[in-house]
Amino acid sequence: MKKRGLLKTYIYIIFLMSSVLSSVNGEPNDTGEIQFQSLAKEQVPEVLNFLSTAIKSNYEKITTWKGEADFLSEQIIDGDEAGNIFRKKTDGKGAVPQSILRLKTANIQFIIDVANDSIYEHIFREDPIRYFNNESGNDLGTKSRLHEAVSIVTPQEFIHCVPRQLKGNTITSYRAIKQTSRQKETIARKGIFDPRLLIYMGNPVWNYLDSWRRRFQESNGEVKVGNYSPIFEEGRSGDNIVYHLLLPARTAEDNYTFLNMYFSSEAGYNMTKLQVLGPDYKVYANMNCEYYVLNGIYIPKRIETQDFNLDNGTVRYKEQYILINQQLNQSLDKNTFTYKNLGLKNGDKFIDKIENREYIYQDANLVFVADVNK
């Protein structure tokens, strides 16, 4: 494992202070100046099938996917948790703030084998986590240090490797743990970055669109969820065609949320915006994605997600990924998704919780040390 150059933290400070506290109250049509027109009933199944086919055919062109993402996250922490963070994670000087702004940056390398449903992630944070008084903007200092981790997820196993010892700000050894993989698909693994975020929503988005197409056809265009009907619209901005879908979902007997979805021809009809809205159309969560074409395939170049405080409409948490150095459909080393790609050094520990054994990494092999308790 070696250091990767990162955008320095201070570059983001002005952007951070001006953006993370801004109010964003979502409306069903949230694409600026584009004017939308409702689709005729006979057009809806055709459009849903067209979008489903376009997204699926684009995705199925990908067999392997490699690249990097420069990552930024911003989070506001309030109340007792802010006090705990102040005492444990910052320099702890002065009065305890009521609200703390936490900033993380990192570089993420990822490798995806689509056919074998496997993913490799190497995350490296050279700059420490930063903490600020959310009211005054004062830097609170930090006890954070360099961080590095490698995760490998396959349908059978999940391997996670992190530093075991640090000397100053230098990693001197690592420890890896292998466990049974509990997710049916690697894309569902919480905490592992996957650029397919807008392609899957628990299931592939094309399956979701196909389900709504069938419901629409079976109801002769009169489909309802409780008292709510879905909205299907088309808008244009120059040569760009945008389809807008507002789809209701019942979360409890009298409680509803809505998926607010936008699909753009400039992105090969992939989804460029996804919002989760409440009954009053306020935004619970928001995801935006910009695409570009590589080898004839549309892939993301920027992904941003946001969670909102429903009381006042402010952003409580934001993540941004700038994707660089991407490669598609390249051959992968046979050891890409094995312990040999963790970056272990001689003497590092490897604990296999599937076999309940402990190993030492030595000369590119695992040397058995002892059985471990289940």
- Provide the mean pLDDT of the chain: 87
Beta-bridge mates of residue 301: none
- Distance, in Å, from the CA atom of 149 to the CA atom of 171, rounded to the nearest integer, reads 11
User: CA-to-CA distance for 9 and 104, rounded, in angstroms?
Assistant: 8
Residue 17 host element (H or E): helix 13-19
Say what the pLDDT of residue 3 is: 38
Residue 253 has pLDDT above 80, yes or no: no
Q: What was the pLDDT predicted at 353?
A: 95
Residue 374 Cα distances to 159, 176, 355, 368, 369, angstroms: 17, 17, 9, 17, 16
Radius of gyration of the chain (CA): 23
Higher-confidence position of 28 and 255: 255
Q: Which of 289, 309, 310 lies closest to 301, judged by CA?
A: 289
Please choose, from the candidates 351, 346, 344, 343, the residue with its C-alpha nearest in 3D space to the C-alpha of residue 368. 351
Q: What does the pLDDT look like over 133-157, one tens digit per residue?
A: 999 999 999 998 888 999 999 999 9
Token digits for 265? 């021809």
Does the pLDDT at position 8 exceed 60? no
Residue of 281, 197, 284, 285 whose CA lies nearest to 247: 281
- Determine the Cα–Cα distance for residues 175 and 20; give it in Å rounded to an integer: 36
2, two tokens: 């070696």
62-66, 70-74, 223-227: segment of lowest average pLDDT: 223-227
Torsion, CA 53, CA 58, CA 63, CA 67, rounded to 10: -140
Given a cut of 70, whether residue 11 has pLDDT beyond it is no
Tokens of 335: 């050891």
Q: What is the pLDDT of residues 202-227, one digit of tens each?
A: 689 999 999 999 999 999 999 999 88
Which of 195, 150, 153 lies closest to 171, judged by CA? 150
For the record, the structure tokens of 309 come out as: 């405080």
Q: Where are the domains of the chain?
A: 9-20+31-343
Cross-strand bridge partners of residue 365: 362
Beta-strand runs (E) in the chain: 36-38, 64-78, 99-113, 118-125, 130-133, 147-153, 157-167, 170-180, 231-237, 240-252, 255-264, 271-277, 283-294, 297-308, 315-328, 349-352, 357-362, 365-371
**pLDDT value at 73 more than 80:** yes
Phi and psi (nearest 5°) for 144?
Answer: -70, 150
2 or 286, higher pLDDT = 286
Asked whether residue 27 carries a pLDDT value surpassing 60, the answer given is: no
261 Cβ contact partners less than 8 Å away, ≥ 6 residues apart: 244, 245, 246, 247, 271, 273, 274, 275
Close Cβ partners of 169 (under 8 Å, ≥ 6 residues apart): 145, 146
